[in-house]
Structure 1
Amino acid sequence: MTESWVIEGDGSSPMPPEAAARALRARVEAGPGETWLTSTNGRALGLVTNGGRALVMLLADEDDPGEHAVDPGAGGVGDGYVLANGQHDRYPDEDTVPLAEAHRLVEHVVRTGEWPLDAPRAVDR
């Protein structure tokens, strides 16, 4: 079976890969800082944004610490990352990517099931 993805909490049907980045842009514009997509294979793809940068995570299952996209050499710490439970987080910029890059990564994972080959990431397992 081909893996398909849905946005958690939207009650939506599986989204085509080309719609992933568009759906995320719409959610960011509407205000939610945290979005999770779940796949038919039990994986989860999360994005938490402050509007300029995003933490992008890919988890094999709910118990997996997973892996996340990184921006090697980025300096500083960003704040304004608001989780669904209302918690406000700060992340080092090297552990986040620019929002446009986050959209590209999510669309690629939804389309292929894998990170793009050119996307640096940290494995947290």
Structure 2
Amino acid sequence: MNNTPAWLVTHDNSEDLGFAFDCLIVGAITLGELKEWIYRVIVEMDEFPDYLIDITDIRRKHDLILDYQDVIGFWPYSPLKRTEETALVGIAYARFPDFRDDSISRGKARSALEKSASLQERFARHFPAISIADDTGDAADILVSGWWLSGSEKKILTGAEIQTLFINQLATGPLSTQLETDTGLKLQVVTNRERMMITLIEPNGASGHATDTQAGKGSRGGFLLDNGQEDEYDDVDTVAIPDALNVIVYILTHGTPPQEDWKVDVLGR
């Protein structure tokens, strides 16, 4: 008989149980799905701790989280990187249409999930029967979590509303616009209605802006700031429309700058 444990679910090493708990807490799986995984663990292991049976008797997720000391006796721990925790939230967004997380936007979570192949493989090993749908929706139709127009009443905007905001800016609206989130991100966009200067400021003080490496060595003025100052920028430091709108949508849905054509201006603290 093989005495090597198929799953790490004991007090000495609870990494697999901890991962299953993490999935439950963020909303990537239901309590029923956690129990199904435990039934599988029990079948596949020669010996298993009694508290696995006790977990299957729990009827509400809330009770398991609050009474874990009585049910298990310790909190199972699985060392996840912050990006992997965000990726788990991405699974919750993918599986449950009504899911919302006040601190992590759908775009940021799904982006983290797409970039974390190891997290996807680990989730598939635990829950092979669960499929994760690809996010094929139009970014403008996705709810952008947490962004609002700076200097106005805090009203969370959808992707479609923000897209309309910048289209109006290109027509007759103000040439300078800033959006912000509860997380501290700020997106500043200044335009001369031909090109856009797009700057993202992060909570740690880091900042950067979109670039156009194909723009050549020219420069243009007409970028009017809120304080009345009119700036001139090198074309390489601004982006032509409609490419600029695509950059804006990417930042709003992912919460991070694009990997290409981006220049760091200030390093974070």
- Which TM-score band applies after superposition, normalised by the shorter structure? 0.7 to 0.9
Residue 163 (structure 2) pairs with residue 21 (structure 1)? yes
Structure 1 residue 114, shift from structure 2 partner: 1.8
The worse-fitting range, judged by mean Cα deviation, of 51-60 and 15-24 is 15-24
Structure 2: 5+ residue runs without aligned partners? 1-102, 106-145
Q: Quick one: percent identity of the two aligned structures?
A: 28
The worse-fitting range, judged by mean Cα deviation, of 34-43 and 100-109 is 100-109
In the superposition, the TM-score normalised over structure 2's length comes to: 0.43
RMSD between aligned residues: 1.8
Higher helix fraction (1 or 2): 2
Q: Which runs of 4+ in 1 moved over 3 A?
A: none
CA contact 1:17–1:108 (8 Å) conserved in 2: no
In 2, distance between residues paired with 1:73 and 1:106? 19
Tell me what 1:92 maps to. 234
Structure 1 residue 12, shift from structure 2 partner: 5.1
In the superposition, the TM-score normalised over structure 1's length comes to: 0.88
SS in 2 for 1:124: strand
Residue 109 (structure 2) pairs with residue 7 (structure 1)? no
Structure 1: 5+ residue runs without aligned partners? none
Look up the equivalent residue of 1:80 and give its one-letter code: G
Tell me what 1:36 maps to. 178
Higher strand fraction (1 or 2): 1
Structure 1, residues 47-104: CA drift from partner, whole Å, max 9, x if none?
000000010000013x735000000131200110000111010000000001212211
Structure with more contact order per residue of length (Cα contacts < 8 Å, sep ≥ 6): 1
SS in 1 for 2:168: helix
Tell me what 1:124 maps to. 265
